[in-house]
Amino acid sequence: MSNSPLRIGIAGLGTVGAGTIKLLEQQASLIAMRCGREITVTAVSARDRSKDRGVDLAGFNWHDDPVALASDDSVDVVAELIGGEDGPAKDLVEAAIANGKHVVTANKALIAHHGTALAKSAEAANVAVAFEAAVAGGIPIVKALREGLAANTISRVFGILNGTCNYILSEMRETGKEFDVVLKEAQELGYAEADPAFDVDGVDAAHKLAILTSLAFGCELNFDAVHIEGIRHISPLDIEFAEDLGYRIKLLGIARQTDKGIEQRVHPCMVPLDAPIAHIEDVFNAVVADGDFVDTTMYEGRGAGEGPTASAVVADIIDIARGRMPNTFAIPADNLAKMQEAPISSHVGSYYVRFMVADKPGVFATIAGALHEHNVSMEAVLQRGRSENEAVPVVLTTHEADEASMVATLDAIAKNDAVVEPPRLIRIESF
């Protein structure tokens, strides 16, 4: 291992980029002591040179074109903190690998879509592509799966992977407010973007889940195989019924081995109140991994923000400074298996369903008849209130059924004129 300083070029000087510079400066002595050499920032790239980012950039080489960092002789490691699936971020990472430079990134979209190819290129060039910051912010889950649990066969990994959604669901439960109201408040607090679609529609969590799946099961990334649902359709009524039934609603990403292949799914779940993950609130993330020797392990912390994400970026830089270069996805990239997908239609589990129906005779007979026809067994039924002029909720939970049968059942029930809204389905998970 060299004793000379490790020189970092940072592309993207937003919250995480500026935070990384602050952390490296404030913790310089501690970091040097722990990794045996100094780590210094030598070059940066961003669109606006005049913007005040709260850090002194005067001593760094400035590149208007981020890709130019890849050929800067003063840079050993490129930190890609631009974001985005393609465009400058992808161009920079590919150029850095081609120039024999290590890469550290917080870009989950880039890794989820191109991680397999980038890993193969990096390993062929004997450089690292490190992405601890791309999944769950300050929680070291990548290192846990790749190193700490390396002796285990992982059967399932799941978790709360998006703090924005977790905050919204927590606030809806605490206040009884509708989704749109809480979303607007989250935007005002800076917990949600002006365009919140990636968060509330589940895409951000799906990017992270695809990465965890590859790490856990030794397969190529396959983002397109992730079943994705968001939280826009969750209502305070569903949250209230969940509590009555002994559950809490969480947006989870779940990957598990089944006899049909690997399931990858992101959607709201009914989680039992006695499950630890049911009590992860606000903007916090949590990831659970089940291993054959270690049993169940859980990791909790802040999933975003300047400090936690910068901490994860610098942790990867420290590994490189120490000369530690584990395989990108725990095994050599050329050995990653093609994923055998288990489609959502093959999922087997229990379900919560809410119907909004006109209160008139025969409605429940229609529901019961459709359940019987499609071999779906009812476990419990809840109904509140009666009104001749307004729709009333009818809630049922089922015993285990396959997804295809459940969808067919709901399609049949939805055709009844007494059902005034599309049925709302939430899968029940037993942890």
Q: What is the pTM of this model?
A: 0.94
Interval 6-31 mean pLDDT: 96
Instruction: Report which secondary-structure segment, H or E, holds 257.
Output: strand 247-258
Rg (CA), the chain: 24
Identity of residue 194: A
Kindly report, residue by residue over 329-343, the tens digit of the pLDDT. Answer: 999 999 999 999 999
Under the banding of pLDDT at 50, 70 and 90, the label for residue 299 is very high
| Statement: residue 1 has pLDDT above 60 | no
Taking the alpha carbons at both ends of the chain, their separation in whole angstroms is 44
Length of the chain: 431
Closest by Cα among 67, 127, 129, 132 to 101: 127
pLDDT attached to residue 391: 84
Closest by Cα among 402, 426, 403, 424 to 413: 424
Under the banding of pLDDT at 50, 70 and 90, the label for residue 388 is low
DSSP string, 371-418: HHHTT--EEEEEE----SSS-EEEEEEESSEEHHHHHHHHHHHHTSTT
- Weakest mean pLDDT among 92-96, 209-213, 355-359: 355-359
Interval 303-323 mean pLDDT: 94
pLDDT attached to residue 192: 86
Kindly report, residue by residue over 144-164, the tens digit of the pLDDT. Answer: 999 999 999 999 999 999 999
Cα separation, 357 vs 143, in Å, equals 49
Provide the 10 A C-beta neighbour count for residue 409.
Answer: 25
Helix (H, G, I), strand (E, B) or coil at 268: strand
Interval 402-406 mean pLDDT: 94
Kindly report, residue by residue over 60-83, the tens digit of the pLDDT. Answer: 999 999 999 999 999 999 999 999
Would residue 208 show up in a list of annotated catalytic residues for this protein? yes
**Phi, psi dihedrals of residue 9, rounded to the nearest 5°:** -110, 130
Cα separation, 396 vs 383, in Å, equals 9
Question: Which one is catalytic: 101, 143, 208, 250?
Answer: 208
pLDDT attached to residue 361: 75
Under the banding of pLDDT at 50, 70 and 90, the label for residue 349 is very high
Kindly report, residue by residue over 101-146, the tens digit of the pLDDT. Answer: 999 999 999 999 999 999 999 999 999 999 999 999 899 999 999 9
| Two tokens, residue 305 | 């923000």
Under the banding of pLDDT at 50, 70 and 90, the label for residue 214 is very high
Q: Which region holds residue 36: left if phi is over 0, alpha if psi is between -120 and 50, else beta?
A: left
| Statement: residue 171 has pLDDT above 80 | yes
What domains appear along the chain, each with residue ranges and CATH number?
A: 6-134 (3.40.50.720), 141-302 (3.30.360.10), 347-428 (3.30.70.260)
pLDDT attached to residue 136: 92
pLDDT attached to residue 387: 60
Handedness of CA 114, 116, 122, 125 (dihedral sign): negative
